[in-house]
Amino acid sequence: MGPTARGLRAGLAGRALLPGALLGLGLLRLGGGEALAGHAGLLGWWSAWSGGAVLLAGAAAGQEGAGLLSAAGSLAAAGLVVRLATTPEDWLIQGLLWVAASGLALAVSLLPWERLVRDPRIPTCVTLVALILPLVVGSAAGGARAWLRAGPLQLQPVELAKVGAILLLAGRLGLAPPGSASHGISEPSGPLPARELVWLALLWSGFAGALVAQRDLGGAALVALLLPAGLLLAGYPARVPLGALLLAGGAGLLLLGLYPHALARVEGMRALWRLETAGAYQLWQGLASLALGGLWGRPGGFGDGLAVPAGATDLPLAVVAPGAGLVAVWGILYLQWSIVARGLGMAETAEGAARLLTGLVAVLWGLETLLPTAGWLGLAPLTGLPLPLVSRGGSALVAHGVLLGWLLWGARQRLGGAGARAG
């Protein structure tokens, strides 16, 4: 075995060990050696599963696939520590959700998406059902009617709708137009006829409108932003996605005044910058968590996160910061960015629907990281959006398993293309 092969094996082994190592460090910061010993079983099976998943991803998609799943597993480790700090009785659910999400990612990466993206009917129906169902039988939480509940089980269908929306855009914008010489996934996409583009814009307005009707303005903004991002990735002139972006932004500003809970979040951000405590309690507590943790955090400091309302969902970094410090926050954001950067890199070298699928996943993942972090720092209104793989929320974790699977699929496509060129 040559030095290059040994280096690759060592790198793969390091990536496989990283999620478990970070979970162990998190347990030490959470409660010292006692917490580590008390959760030795959890650490053992969770690390074994995560490491095995990384090795499987590496076998299927090379070093890039292993890096993706290693970063995702490390973020899931942070999410598990957040759950242990806030609702320790539910740690098993969080651990099993990661098992389901990572297993789903591996399965999704093996499907023939080069064919599946061509039929827009399934993602359109899935997205519409996921958006309309909460309006009919949903229940309200945090000002938004976006939840389905059945006893102890609860589901947020908007997470499924985001997945369907990305698949729909990849199919409509990423394939060569009807009547062209080829319909392969590696062929450059061409602009849709004006009639089809108008139809897509109207459909997208319906998607965003359903989320507005649920009073989920954060989710509506995310879904609305996917359309201009898709147009840009598909190669449309900049004026087309810019026009879509301006229309979406104008509609959002007009609708903001109709929803008191959304206005309250904007006022909370403004109150923070005016140094007023009234109306900005959660934001002040979030910033206090950063100050309490300092650079390295304080052992046992995770308990301070309990003072932040909805910390495990809206502000998970405010739970991490007191116990593990700014270093851990930087680490989480770096891991998130590494996933986004890999997705953008795949989109840059891919063509057709593969470019749309991987690029839109990267855009969505980046926005879901940027907006909650900006909200925590008082740079944007709080949205209630989950921080990928870290926030508490089963629907979001499983949906991100699908998104991660698409990135693994993109890594497999790129690895196969590189092998074909080398051959």
Domain positions in the chain: 3-422
What is the per-residue pLDDT across 144-184, written as a single tens digit (0 to 9) for each? Answer: 666 677 666 677 888 889 999 999 999 888 764 433 433 33
Instruction: Identify any residues that bridge with 154 across adjacent strands, giving them in sequence order.
Output: 149
User: SS3 helix, strand, coil % of the chain, rounded to 5?
Assistant: 75, 5, 20
Q: d(Cα 113, Cα 410) in Å, to the nearest integer?
A: 10
Q: How wide is the angle at C-alpha 383 spanned by C-alphas 381 and 388, nearest 5°? A: 125
Instruction: Kindly state the tokens that stand for 6.
Output: 């040994």
What was the pLDDT predicted at 328? Answer: 93
Q: d(Cα 400, Cα 387) in Å, to the nearest integer?
A: 10
State the pTM of this model.
0.91
In whole angstroms, what separates CA 42 from the centre of its chain? Answer: 25
- Selection from 171, 146, 87, 211 nearest residue 356 by Cα: 171
What was the pLDDT predicted at 156? Answer: 83
For tokens 């098993």, what's the residue?
92
What was the pLDDT predicted at 110? Answer: 95
Per-block average pLDDT, block size 10, for the chain (423 residues)? 61 88 90 85 94 95 94 96 86 92 96 88 87 80 66 77 92 61 41 80 87 82 91 89 86 74 74 72 78 79 63 76 90 96 93 91 96 86 85 88 96 74 53
DSSP class of 391: S
Backbone angles phi, psi at 139, to 5 degrees: -125, 155
What was the pLDDT predicted at 186? Answer: 39
What was the pLDDT predicted at 59? Answer: 92
In whole angstroms, what separates CA 170 from the centre of its chain? Answer: 18
In whole angstroms, what separates CA 292 from the centre of its chain? Answer: 27
| DSSP letter for each residue of 313-362 | TT-HHHHHHHHHHHHHHHHHHHHHHHHHHHHHHHHHH--HHHHHHHHHHH
Give residue 247's identity as a one-letter amino acid code: L
Q: d(Cα 379, Cα 272) in Å, to the nearest integer?
A: 10
Rounded to whole angstroms, what are the CA distances from 116 to 135, 172, 353?
29, 12, 10
What was the pLDDT predicted at 19? Answer: 94
DSSP class of 88: G
Spell out the residues 6+ positions from residue 266 whose beta carbon is closer than 8 angstroms to its own.
256, 381
286 and 318 Cβ atoms separated by less than 8 Å: yes
What was the pLDDT predicted at 99? Answer: 95
Rounded to whole angstroms, what are the CA distances from 67 to 62, 345, 401, 411?
9, 13, 15, 10
What was the pLDDT predicted at 376? Answer: 84
